[in-house]
Amino acid sequence: MGLVLIVIIGIVINLMGRIYSTIPMQRAMFDKVDIVTFNFLKSMLEPAQDIKKQVLPITAEYQGREAALSSPYLVVQNYSNVSTNNELRVYNLATGNEDTVPTRGKHIWGFDVEGANVVWADLRNEIRDPMRQEPSGQYTYKDSELNWDVFLYNLETKELKQLTHEPAAQRNPRVWQHYVVWEDNRDDTTDDNYGVWNIYLYDLESGEEARITSGESDHIHPRIRDGKVVWQDSRNNMDERFLGCGNCPENNWDIYLYDILTGDEQAVAIGPTMECDPDVSGDLVVWAEYRDLNNADILMKELDSGEVTKVTDDYFHQWQPRVDNGRVVWTDERRGHSINDVNTGFANADVLLYDTPTGNSVRLTGDWIQSQPLISGPYVAFLYDTQAEPCYQVVRLPDKLVP
């Protein structure tokens, strides 16, 4: 009852804000009242939803806006407006040692780390200028038309290996043990702005490459772990009006899985709205499910039993889930949004953790915007989002979370 009352109050305040914001003299005054009321409401939400709080000390911080984590390695892409190369820096969180991955150029599309292997896609084999623009200001070449290739670098042997040689685009690679997966549009025969993407699997030991998806639909955002590959799939999306909308529930993406050992494919989530951004660990698959525009929940499926758990179930935006050994982390906008350049009085996204053995949810972060969480072993890393100097912060999980 208390949570329902909080939601009703929030909706009323939102409607009042929309009305008053159309009156210039009232806008500034209402913004201040709205922020005060919002702060009061968010202080009530966590107790009402039984959200624990365990803000952990930051153990490390590295400049960059994107990262990949596989304990003890954290790889961070450090953007630079003056450098001709966007470096991938590797940090060993256990020893403090650092390394640099030999990428080339300012363009990287996806990267990952597992064990001593780092994979990424770049444009070193593209002879055209990816930044060329037409008089209209549009880029001459779409990203999907460029020659992205996948590379692997071993942190121990220092060996660099090119994994793909097709003139089409291979991008967004992920690695687990001796397998690498990526998005690939070599089989695209369409002529539109979106293209057709399939998932390819590469065996580092045998050198064999295989396409593990089929059809003229899109298969994107692959993740690989524990012998399973999951991805976001558009085969059931029959309404082309919403193509390209990344947060429209009517854009009916689904989640599918491929078992490397058996070669079998199975549907994980095929609901009527958008299910996206999957991750897998052991017997668990997690994803974000959109019920409304900019309003997603986190869901989790146990593959053996088929049981689906709603990790979150409310009218606030929760997204970007990741899972490792029964612990799920995600970006949570219960206490504020994740945009740092509009209405900063409401900017306060958090990283939350759900512990499957206990069923408890714990907030790990304090004030301001923390998003894009990663989890591996004892480490959780997340983006502390400032426009000028964004950085990835790292916390170390205790043996036991708050009960």
Q: What is the DSSP letter of 38?
A: H
Residue range(s) defining the domain that contains residue 37: 1-48
The pLDDT value recorded for residue 24 is: 46
Given 48, 64, 85, the domain boundary residue is 48
Question: Which residue, chain included where needed, has tokens 């292997």?
Answer: 117
Lookup: tokens for 149: 């290739």
Could you give the number of structural domains in the chain?
A: 2
In the 8-state DSSP scheme, what is residue 281? E
| Same domain for 150 and 289 | yes
pLDDT tens digits, 83-93: 556 789 999 99
- pLDDT tens sequence across 78-132: 765 555 567 899 999 999 999 999 998 879 999 999 999 999 999 999 999 988 8
3-class SS letters over 330-356? EEECCCCECCCCCCHHHECCEEEEEEC
Same domain, 27 and 104: no
Q: What pLDDT, in 10s, does the model give residues 324-348? A: 999 999 999 999 888 766 556 678 8
Both 34 and 152 in one domain: the answer is no
Give the amino acid at 84: T
Could you tell me if residue 402 is inside a domain? Answer: no
| Angle separating helix axes 24-48 and 2-20, nearest 10 degrees | 170
Looking at the structure, do residues 277 and 330 belong to the same domain, yes or no? yes
Let me know whether 13 and 123 are in one domain.
no
Whole-prediction pTM: 0.87
CA atoms within 13 A on the CB side of 260: 21
Q: Is 102 left (phi over 0), alpha (psi -120 to 50) or beta?
A: beta
- At 135-147, the pLDDT tens digits run 888 888 888 889 9
Please say whether the beta carbons of 108 and 79 come within 8 A. no
Burial class (CB in 10 A: 0-12, 13-18, 19+), 17: middle
Q: Are residues 35 and 65 in the same domain?
A: no
Indicate whether 401 belongs to any domain.
no
Same domain flag for 80 and 181: yes
Residues 137 and 239 in one domain: yes
1 and 129 belong to one structural domain: no
> Do 196 and 310 fall into the same domain?
yes
> Does any domain span residue 27?
yes
Residue 223 has pLDDT above 90, yes or no: yes
Name the domain boundary from 12, 33, 48. Answer: 48
The answer to whether residues 10 and 158 belong to one domain is no
The answer to whether position 403 is within a domain reads no
We report the CATH number of the domain holding residue 138 as: 2.120.10.30
Sheet (strand 370-376) strand order: 60-63, 391-396, 379-384, 370-376
Give the three-state DSSP class for 128. coil
